[in-house]
Amino acid sequence: MKAILFTQEDTAGFNALQERIHLHMLTKVGVDGFHYSADCWARVDDAYIYEDQLCMPVNDYEPIRYGYLLEVLTQEEKDSIVDVPISN
């Protein structure tokens, strides 16, 4: 998955980005009137942990949603997106 990584101590930064993404996504409408959000996939309490870091998912598997997500990210945040292997 693609993700922005945060230290486990930086819950404030993780939550701030999640909130910014969530508020932006609420203004977007997808197929059949579906409204996007970020609160169900990016809560710090439920975050995927990779190498002791919190993962904020920014997957590109859904191009429209990914485009909306990129609209809200700063260039620095876009540059920090990394590929994170997911283990089951």
11-62 pLDDT, tens per residue? 999 999 988 988 888 888 777 777 776 555 567 888 889 999 999 988 888 8
Q: Which residues contact 17 (CB under 8 A, 6 or more apart)?
A: 4, 56, 77
Q: Which residues contact 43 (CB under 8 A, 6 or more apart)?
A: 18
**78 backbone φψ class: left, alpha, beta (φ>0; ψ -120 to 50):** alpha
Closest by alpha carbon to 42, among 14, 81, 6?
14
- According to DSSP, the residues that pair with 48 across neighbouring strands are 55
Tell which wins on pLDDT, 56 or 88: 56
Q: What is the pTM of this model?
A: 0.82
Would you place residue 5 in the very low, low, confident or very high pLDDT band (cuts 50, 70, 90)?
A: very high
